Structure 1
């Protein structure tokens, strides 16, 4: 998987997200929103958000974790989210053997889910409710048993995509974070975290019921 010659930029008319197709043909459509090429603009402040997001200094991000267009070979349908936890990347599959790639932080050992599922819900500025198991491990979280209000300090960040397997909530999420240093590391309690600017971008590109594949070390999902 290597960067294309077009680096991080793709024209607004080049690619399609095919979340649901009624025929066997690939549908040509625009990539919305267009992919930004300048990291400073990519991670600029978002003052129009419900809770304005501050800018992220790109120098604090390993460039390999910048949002970018890459060559990507897979048998997964176009419009599938693929999380490669060993490499700390999330891919959104596209036409022409390419994908949008985002850097992610993943769950610590013992707190990781893997498998095939779908994104049942999408939420902007979600409420965070810690699972009972987490409250048992961390009693100080009991005050949030009925939910923590949205905001910059909320662990789910600016957006959350809820992972369901066979119609059942896995309790795992794709969500935002302001903790730049956590990207590329195994630090969370199982969820997949993206920079807030990246989860906002992904949120706008995928519909509910998008396929998701989460690949853990040593599994056979990609074989």
Structure 2
């Protein structure tokens, strides 16, 4: 969708609601019998990626502003960069023509979010995950059972893609990544990483060139640029998953390595 109007933040939301209604309106076939409307938006339809059938994102998780959309960018980050507002729970991919794609995100619980300028220096499809030493030290009840890591695939908490954030040439161990924890998008619930719907992180991954600057807004910048959505969402408790659910024999036997030659290009 290409826009020629300068959209206000409220227009952004109104446009999203209007396009949601249009996308979900039932089609009336020649027989005069209406088909049932799908329970997802077109951009969040089921997706085949790396040999995996990724499910659609149900409408209950993409209502209102909690969905991907495009418009004129009104923030302060430079063109050709990523701008994250952890208070409004949005990520903007800022393009050189003055437009941006805005994605809803899940962010870290209070005090756990990186801030300021950094660089995306690497990106991976279906990456594996290992908890950091800090995660093991501060929340052993959440991460202790996973200290040896989880390989890339459907069991990995990093989902379908990950962008790796560096500062001064060093890995910060913060990531922008996919997730199956749909409730976390639009809320604060992670250990500090930036979560996206798998369909959205695939879309972003396919449009990111390396290296790319990433800005994570401060509270002051968020209030200055986007006061309408400041502190959108709520803080969620950490999701505690039993190691058997991801590392048990049944979970391992039902998983398979991703086929990286068969990546979606949406």
Shorter-chain-normalised TM-score: which range? 0.7 to 0.9
Over 3 Å counting, the alpha-carbon distance change for 1:138 and 1:166 in structure 2 is: same
Over 3 Å counting, the alpha-carbon distance change for 1:48 and 1:109 in structure 2 is: closer
Contact 2:13 2:64 in 1 (8 A): no
Deviation at 1:144, TM superposition (A): 2.9
Contact 2:81 2:94 in 1 (8 A): yes
Q: Could you say which structure has the higher helix fraction?
A: 2
CA distance in 1, matches of 2:88, 2:59: 20
Partner of 2:195: 193
Q: Does 2:212 correspond to 1:210?
A: yes
Contact 2:150 2:156 in 1 (8 A): yes
May I ask how many residue pairs the two structures share in their alignment?
194
CA distance in 2, matches of 1:99, 1:154: 29
Deviation at 1:51, TM superposition (A): 3.0
Q: What does residue range 1-223 of structure 1 map to in structure 2 within 5 Å?
A: 1=9, 2-3=11-12, 40-139=41-140, 141-218=143-220
CA distance in 1, matches of 2:13, 2:95: 13
CA distance in 2, matches of 1:154, 1:69: 29
Structure 1 runs (4+) greater than 4 angstroms displaced: 4-8, 219-223
TM-score normalized by structure 2?
0.66
CA distance in 2, matches of 1:127, 1:61: 27
Gaps of 5+ in 2: 1-8, 20-39, 226-266
